[in-house]
């Protein structure tokens, strides 16, 4: 046993941004260092994601986590006691083995992930380092380019529009701080324009404006107007990123756009998205096709992969093997990295390593059900991923992460290198 051995593990029920229960874990080491982390939850989820453990029944709508808490405070606490927290790979392997299922359904991915992340925080504290420095293989300086939601849709806004995220990226900014300033102005002008047009219904799950539009293209037009009204040039300074989340309305190669009361096949979706690409400054499109439509992904990537970031979320679920398969088949060119899709930090890192091996880019991402936990900020910087997506520029569970990134950038000082447009190697930025 060493002074970085795990001495104590404890979980408690806390609450996420939807007012639903989630799991927070504390990991204390023999030397007194302590780490804490909270598991997030998604609304639109891939079928191959690791599974949360929820209680079911009527209490809190079935979302209570007393069974997941019991997993941490019982089996997991006993199993990891005495393990060295600085050996993240061995710790995560032990958690995976203990669960014994392919999708972490017995102990719960929410239980396992909270301990995996908390152990990393404890190990970093034991070294006297911020987590991003502890995670880095070498001297870390890369600050990620953010994707920030302006309008929410899909599962994040009562499906008022089919597309889930209408976001901005600021490849022309010189720093994360400047990208934040630009986004704040765009967000403010978007709200004013929507209010003037009678198109504002409130705020969506991730903090973006909840829109009232009659077509999906109206949202794109409004976003362009918001960028221009804020005083920025389209394309080189500020561009658009979309999360189509097509698995939410597509299956078996058919896509039902409820807002416009029409149904498209894969070729029709390609034509629709291609028309948007030709008319709007789109730099990135996430899940343009459903997870069961790899042929659609491949054809779309063949047509646009040289000039556009094509992101797999539900399609790849942060899985290293899926990233390698997609690369071999020419389907997508970027993977979204969500730790709770896999359930451990080590497996998420495996997906990032697979991306680098195959020439894919990556984006570290939050979930729609979030908390004040800022672990993903440190993953994006420590692993030098280059991009980060945490939702909108409003609501404290989002701003906690953007503000943490500002602190990290400030801490690095003149050594900070903002990814900016350089990370969009395939885009027109």
Ranges of each domain in the chain: 6-128, 142-423
Say yes or no: domain 142-423 is CATH 3.20.20.120. Answer: yes
The mean-pLDDT minimum among 55-64, 296-305, 403-412, 418-427 falls in: 418-427
CA 9 from centroid of its chain's CA atoms: 27
What is the pLDDT, as a whole number, of residue 258?
87
User: pLDDT tens-digit profile of 206-244?
Assistant: 999 988 888 889 999 999 999 999 999 999 999 999 999
The per-residue pLDDT for 159 is 61
Q: Do residues 337 and 49 touch, judged by C-beta distance below 8 A?
A: no
pLDDT at residue number 46: 78
Q: Which of 206, 286, 291, 404 is catalytic?
A: 206
pLDDT at residue number 429:
34
Residue 395 has pLDDT above 60, yes or no: yes
* CA pair distance 418, 144, nearest whole angstrom: 6
b/e sequence 66-77, b meaning 16+ C-beta within 10 Å: eebbbbbbebbb
CA distances from 165 to 79, 177, 240, 265, 332 (A): 40, 22, 10, 22, 18
For the ranges 178-182, 248-252, 282-286, the lowest mean pLDDT is seen at 248-252
Q: Is the pLDDT of residue 56 over 90?
A: yes
Q: For the domain covering 6-128, report its CATH number.
A: 3.30.390.10
Per the annotation, the verdict on 401 as an active-site residue is no
| Percent of the chain residues past pLDDT 90, beyond the cut | 88
pLDDT confidence band for 201 (50 / 70 / 90): confident
For the segment 308-323, the average pLDDT, to the nearest whole number, is 98
How far apart are the C-alpha atoms of 101 and 93, rounded to whole Å? 13
Distance in angstroms (rounded) separating the CA atoms of residues 317 and 323:
9
Contacts of 255 (CB under 8 A, 6+ apart): 246, 249, 263, 264, 265, 266, 268, 269, 290
Q: What is the Cα gyration radius of the chain? A: 21
pLDDT greater at residue 285 or residue 137? 285
Mean pLDDT of the 334-348 span = 97
Q: Which residue has the tokens 């997609």?
A: 326
Model-level pTM? 0.96
**Band (1; pLDDT cuts 50, 70, 90):** low
Q: Does pLDDT of 424 surpass 90? A: no
- Catalytic-residue membership of 104: no
Residue 427: predicted pLDDT: 38
* pLDDT over threshold 90, residue 330: yes
Candidates 248, 286, 338, 409; catalytic one: 338
Banded pLDDT at 158 (limits 50, 70, 90): low
Residue 415 has pLDDT above 80, yes or no: yes
Mean confidence (pLDDT) of the chain: 95
- Residue 426: pLDDT band by 50, 70, 90 thresholds? very low
CB atoms within 10 A of CB 231: 12
Average pLDDT of 82-104?
98
């Amino acid at each position: 046993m060493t002074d970085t051995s795990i001495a104590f593990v404890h979980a408690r029920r806390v609450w996420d941004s939807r007012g639903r229960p989630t799991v927070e874990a504390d990991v204390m080491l023999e030397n007194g260092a302590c780490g804490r982390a909270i598991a997030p939850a998604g609304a639109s989820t891939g079928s191959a994601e690791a599974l949360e453990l929820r209680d079911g029944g009527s209490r809190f709508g079935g979302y209570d986590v007393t069974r997941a808490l019991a997993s941490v405070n019982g089996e997991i606490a006993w199993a990891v006691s005495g393990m060295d927290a600085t050996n993240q790979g061995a710790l995560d392997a032990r958690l995976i083995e203990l669960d014994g299922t392919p999708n972490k359904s017995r102990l719960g991915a929410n239980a396992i992930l909270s301990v995996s992340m908390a152990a990393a925080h404890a190990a970093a504290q034991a070294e006297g380092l911020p987590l991003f420095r502890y995670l880095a293989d070498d001297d870390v300086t890369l600050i990620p380019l953010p994707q920030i939601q302006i309008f929410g849709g899909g599962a994040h806004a009562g499906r008022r529009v089919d597309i889930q995220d209408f976001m901005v990226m600021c490849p022309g900014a010189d720093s994360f701080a400047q990208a934040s300033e630009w986004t704040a102005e765009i967000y403010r002008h978007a709200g004013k324009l929507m209010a003037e047009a009678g198109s504002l219904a409130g705020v969506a799950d991730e903090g973006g404006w909840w829109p009232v539009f009659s077509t999906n293209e109206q949202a794109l037009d409004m976003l362009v107007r918001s960028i221009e009204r804020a005083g920025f040039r389209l394309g080189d300074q500020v561009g658009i990123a979309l999360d189509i989340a097509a698995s939410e309305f597509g299956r078996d190669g058919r896509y039902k756009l409820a807002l416009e009361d029409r149904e498209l096949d894969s070729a029709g979706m390609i034509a629709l998205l291609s028309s948007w690409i030709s008319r709007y400054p789109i730099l990135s499109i996430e899940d343009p096709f459903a997870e069961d439509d790899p042929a659609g992904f491949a054809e779309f990537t063949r047509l646009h992969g040289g000039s556009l970031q094509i992101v797999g979320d539900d399609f790849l679920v942060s899985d290293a093997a899926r990233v390698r398969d997609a690369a071999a088949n020419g389907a997508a060119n970027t993977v979204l990295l969500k730790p709770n899709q896999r359930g451990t930090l080590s497996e998420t890192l495996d997906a990032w390593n697979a991306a680098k091996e195959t020439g894919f880019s990556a984006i570290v991402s939050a979930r729609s059900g979030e908390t004040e936990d800022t672990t993903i900020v440190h993953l994006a910087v420590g692993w030098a991923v280059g991009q980060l997506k945490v939702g909108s520029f409003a609501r404290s569970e989002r701003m906690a992460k953007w503000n943490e990134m500002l602190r990290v950038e400030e801490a690095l000082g003149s050594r900070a290198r903002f990814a900016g447009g350089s990370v969009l190697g395939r885009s027109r930025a």
